[in-house]
Amino acid sequence: MPEKTIPAKILSDEEMTLCALVDDHQKDLIDLVKSLISIDSRIYDNETFVDQSQVFSFIEEFMKGFGANCDYYQCQHPYAPEGSLQEWPSMIAAFGTKENGKDLQFCGHVDVVPFTREKWSSDPFDPVIKDGKIFGRGASDMKSGLACLMSAFKLLVESGIQMYGRLQMVFFPDEEINGDYGSQFMATKYKDAIDAPTIIGEPTGQPPLDSPAIIIGEKGHAWLRLKFFGASGHGSMPRPRSNAINKAARFISHANLIELPKAKAPMGVLAMLKGLLSRISLKNMLAMTKASDAAPDPYNEDGLGVGNFFKSTISFSQIHAGTKINVIPDTCDLEIDIRVLPGITLQHILDSIAWYCTEMGFHIELPEGCSNLQLQNKKLQKRPVDVALSVISTTLGTFEDMRHPFMQLLKQTFEDIYHVKAIHFFAPGGSDAVSFRMARINDVVLLGPTGGHAHEENEFVWIDQLVKICKVYLLVAYRMLCK
């Protein structure tokens, strides 16, 4: 179903020439996407080291091929094989200088999530083109975005147009596990190297939209591990209250009582609807939200969950317990994923968990340095510790000011290429942008090609979207650095 179009602005002759370069090099762009997909850069968790050198070597060769300077920033991985000096790199490829005060940064991550091979229609690392789409692991998230950014960079440099500033692109190794060794490491240790207006090529086009949105803010998160303690015993003698799994189950089963901290969402439901209705009619929007190119999941009883954009949420993600079927476990690890709106801190979250544990009658132990509301409850303090909480990872929610000149330039450029209204969204998930904003780096946005099934089987990206978004990247760089 078509989106509402707006009159196109007349591009300059030089801008028309640049856009024509993207059309002329469409095959090269597609081949680059396929080459990136074919490199296995799966990543699993913060405690598992995998060698990312192959994908970084490929990217370095590509960027150096047209004259970009490439610098590595190595972060030692504490879980690398014993005795090795294995590191996870971030890489900055740059062209031009900052002396003129103009700079622009492209950004992306090279890692992809694991998969179950049997669920795919084809080999996830052998990209397939079908029905105007490229299929493969990372096709949507986010090797297509990487390829478009890299191609725009290359085309601008090779055009020979004078650049009055510096264009650079930063590549991170571990966004899918929160960027501890990538964006967080760089924002903490090398902020000056990445402090520039930034476009991150994450996929931002999702149904019911054909064209991507501009993401200008994201929720923060707290990934927590709760270790429940109980009493072991023989399986023939049940211990309903002492079994560590039973304690975790009680914690989960009453989760509706957890009063997560509240804050006002940066964008409300009316603002989101207004943006959507600037692109598509209400009739089409309702029809498109029901449409799907795949059979519905018969186990999905929750629907789309639009309300999650406007409130804090909790998901129970992993549980580990037990050693043998006839042994009652004395410990149970439960990992939870809490997403929060801007303005909510880790301490606010811990206060909510401590209050909930008090209602459950559980004595909770919080990390050193964190305030614990239960310290005022003498009765619970006399109990042994029922649950010990540790923090796996945490970030704050962040949001950009849409009135900044960079935001306005990006908005106008998007509309000049797509001929539809640019709409801005606040995302319920997180990305490397959070690390930038927490380091007080301004003007960081997500904008990338439309695809589907990210983190699922048969992941894909639309080929026509590759061409359009590459033109946006190219013209933003031209308008910021060459005029």
pLDDT tens by residue, 312-327: 999 999 999 999 999 9
The confidence band for 9, taking pLDDT boundaries of 50, 70 and 90, is confident
Q: Which residue has the higher pLDDT, 25 or 291?
A: 25
pLDDT value for 84: 61
> What does the pLDDT average to over 57-78?
95
Q: What DSSP assignment string belongs to 249-314?
A: HHHHHTGGG--------SS-HHHHHHHHHTTS-HHHHHHHHH--SSPPPTT--S---GGGGGS-EE
- Does 130 have pLDDT greater than 60? yes
- Does 471 have pLDDT greater than 80? yes
| pLDDT tens sequence across 215-240 | 999 999 999 999 999 999 999 999 99
End-to-end CA distance of the chain: 37
> What does the pLDDT average to over 149-159?
98
CA atoms 453, 458, 461, 462: torsion sign: negative
> What does the pLDDT average to over 141-156?
97
CA atoms of 403 and 193, how far apart (whole Å): 25
- Does 58 have pLDDT greater than 90? yes
The confidence band for 93, taking pLDDT boundaries of 50, 70 and 90, is very high
pLDDT value for 83: 59
Q: Which tokens in the block code for residue 245?
A: 């799994």
Strands (E), 61-138: 69-76, 87-96, 103-109, 128-130, 133-135
Fold of 220-277+308-395: Alpha-Beta Plaits (3.30.70)
> What does the pLDDT average to over 438-444?
93
The confidence band for 288, taking pLDDT boundaries of 50, 70 and 90, is low
CA atoms 393, 396, 397, 400: torsion sign: negative
- Does 388 have pLDDT greater than 70? yes
Count CA atoms closer than 13 A to 102's CA, side-chain side: 18
Q: Which residue has the higher pLDDT, 389 or 297?
A: 389
pLDDT value for 305: 72
> What does the pLDDT average to over 381-397?
93
Closest of 349, 333, 354 to residue 248, by C-alpha = 333
pLDDT value for 65: 97
Average pLDDT, rounded, for the chain: 92
Closest of 99, 208, 119 to residue 163, by C-alpha = 99
Kind of pairing between the strands at 198-200 and 444-446: parallel
Amino acid in the structure at residue 404: H
pLDDT value for 178: 84
**Residues linked to residue 313 through DSSP beta bridges, in sequence order:** 339
Helix axes 244-253, 346-360, angle to 10 degrees: 110
pLDDT value for 274: 82
Q: What percent of the chain has pLDDT over 90?
A: 75
Closest of 474, 341, 402 to residue 19, by C-alpha = 474
The confidence band for 429, taking pLDDT boundaries of 50, 70 and 90, is confident
Instruction: Identify the CATH number of the domain defined by range 13-219+397-481.
Output: 3.40.630.10
The confidence band for 463, taking pLDDT boundaries of 50, 70 and 90, is very high
Kind of pairing between the strands at 331-340 and 220-229: antiparallel
> What does the domain layout of the chain look like in residue ranges?
13-219+397-481, 220-277+308-395
pLDDT value for 285: 65
- Does 269 have pLDDT greater than 60? yes
The confidence band for 148, taking pLDDT boundaries of 50, 70 and 90, is very high
CA atoms of 184 and 203, how far apart (whole Å): 21
> What does the pLDDT average to over 404-414?
95
CA atoms of 345 and 291, how far apart (whole Å): 38
Decide if 184 contacts 435 (C-beta within 8 A).
yes
